[in-house]
Amino acid sequence: MTDQHTMQDDPQQPELLRVCRIGRAQGMKGEVTVQIFTDEPEWRFEPGSVLYSEDGETEYTVESSRTFKNRWIIKLEGCDDRNASEALNGTMLYGEADDPDDMLEADEWYPKDLIGLEARMDEENALGVEGGHVVGKVVDVIDSPAQSLLKIRLAEPVTVGTAKDGTPVVEKTALVPFVDEIVPEIDLEEGYLTLDPPGGLIPGIPGM
């Protein structure tokens, strides 16, 4: 998902998420290219959508948006010529976070929600490992072009071989694809998620 930015000095301010960085001017009519940090560009750049400066004090309303060669191009209200668009180069824009209840209903998560969760084996895992067995803790969420990956710090580091100098090679983390088939349950209130991994995915789990 998007990067988190929280308004620390005003508890009434909404939580803001990094959406994009404005790049070069596109043409003469105020359009700009953007580098996106969101997986919801169609919604974030919908005409009428409001984006914010990092401190939340300046609002930018999207007038129009389009894509060209896999790049998003947007026009903000009040930015009507090349000089105005060039002046925005490098500006970071933020958007309000989704409503948490709506996200739960839609089965969607922000990385910050997942980091720190205990990773346990699912009660009905296909490997026959005891349900509830603690694999480790989620320490990072890595976005890749194909899919997001959960980086899990193993509760019990595993020796997987020996280096050329004779020292043991120890795996302390595992990367787990963040897909429903492998992560069937997430319980934010209880602070855990469950895993149903294929054999060989997680060091120390049968099938390795």
Segment 1-34, tens digit of pLDDT = 434 343 434 444 457 788 899 999 999 999 999 9
pTM of the complete model: 0.52
Domains of the chain: 16-96 (2.40.30.60), 117-195 (2.30.30)
Q: What is the pLDDT of residues 145-203, one digit of tens each?
A: 567 889 999 999 998 888 888 888 899 999 999 888 999 998 888 999 999 999 999 99
Task: Tally Cβ neighbours within 10 Å of residue 129.
Answer: 19
Q: Under a CB-based contact definition with an 8 Å cutoff, are residues 51 and 94 in contact?
A: yes
Q: What is the spatial distance between Cα 20 and Cα 88, in angstroms, rounded to a whole number?
A: 12
